[in-house]
Chain A
């Protein structure tokens, strides 16, 4: 039986499908497993780091050097697909990891904008939300760090030129922005999740398909890799409890 965390790993892995020779930058346990799974199966050309400054192959052996200054060039050169986290995310894909409340005097200070502004304008940026709730999926984010479709359009052609948010993966399902006005849309539910559950956990009206699809099953080989090779200690279940 496939666990919820395993559906999430596969849904994250699929974000990097067909990406070719680009750096996969996962933030979080499940996205990291997804990136490594994609590299070992359908996207062998992906580049991965060891979390510090080394590029490593599928077995973790060094194959290159990527200090922060070169990592930032990978971003602005567009040869990267990052999957970031989000403290808040709105219907157009604006993301906040800076602070909750008024920026001048925040109720809760978070990380800061980090690289979200440069990421979103330069390389494909997907998001991972391990706990889908109306506190994360909000009507309006308090501080736009990662730029969404509406804000990119308003900022002009330099902002939209390389802007793309391929997908959002949460513990409940997969979402994208492939609607006429780039509002977030439900792509698939993880098996066991209902549309009502997602609707209740989302603070804005999601675009819903006529017929609801389900996140695909992992192949037997993918499950074996996840369980025996990539995550034998089961860290994925800590991020997404069964």
Chain B
């Protein structure tokens, strides 16, 4: 598939999960393809980074489900901030662990899972729909009943994948990409490099994170996580991240996001050459 093929399967109003974490291994090529499409009005579920910033800047988010949005080396995501301060979308702000248990619940077809988090905090105030659950055992403790974060579609990016949808990560952290795929009705995996059948022979077993039964389609997008990190293939592009964070949105979009993925990657190379 191509990034455009993936986006052609998405519809306005969908609940869309995005893998990675902050500015790490985000499926940015797929997000960029989404920016070029008419798909909008999305409920976005993400441990947020520039994926959320770009979609917020483009006005495609109706509701965001997250625990944070950050560029890491620049702690505050400028476009997310601007949109949020303008009241551009609804927000379900939950804790990092609540988020994870929401994914687990969805992947396990459970309506909720109990978690010791949220109680006492304003997460309960700003999400009045959240309920608590009391242990039926002797302890009788009360917990937050974190509802399943079920999604229509998930987008994740990994280092290697085969055509069937088996995905391999080579970096230090799987993040929650396997859970995103299992918690969504459809899942699309972009990868740095497609491998042929048998290409995973000899691979450390635990690197084979994403399983084909949970994947709908695969796209090869070299540097497809740029400007987030996709180690060991490449680190976060700190210089470009800084440019993104300090350039007015129309100017950034005009220079980098007008064409397809190929022209984006070319525009980034050109910018780096100019900076030398």
Contact = CB atoms under 8 A, between A and B. Distances in A.
Interface string A213-228: 0000000000000000
B117 A121 contact: yes
B76 A155 contact: no
Contact of A151 (B94, B120, B141): B120
Given A72-B96, A105-B87, A112-B66, A118 B115 contact: yes
Interface in A129-173: 143-147, 151-152, 154-159, 161-162
Contact of A156 (B21, B119, B173): B119
Given A110-B76, A111-B68, A143-B122, A118 B85 contact: no
A116 B172 contact: no
Contacts of A99: 84
A58 interface: no
Interface string B26-49: 000000000000000000000010
A75 interface: yes
B173 A114 contact: no
A98 B123 CA distance: 10
Contacts of B205: none
A68 B175 CA distance: 6
A122 interface: yes
A106 interface: yes
A1 interface: no
Contacts of A113: 67-68, 93-95, 121, 123
Nearest to B80: A109
Nearest to B96: A115
Contacts of A103: 93, 122, 125-126
Contact of A159 (B95, B115, B120, B123): B120
Interface in B59-86: 66-70, 75-76, 80-81, 84-85
Contact of B120 (A67, A109, A152): A152
Nearest to A145: B121
Nearest to B66: A112
Nearest to B81: A109
Interface string B83-102: 01101000001111110100
Contact of A52 (B66, B117, B172): B172
B95 to A, nearest CB: 4
12 contacts: A52-B172, A54-B172, A65-B172, A67-B172, A69-B176, A72-B100, A98-B122, A117-B120, A151-B120, A155-B119, A157-B142, A158-B116
Interface of B: 21, 48, 66-70, 75-76, 80-81, 84-85, 87, 93-98, 100, 115-123, 125-126, 141-143, 172-176
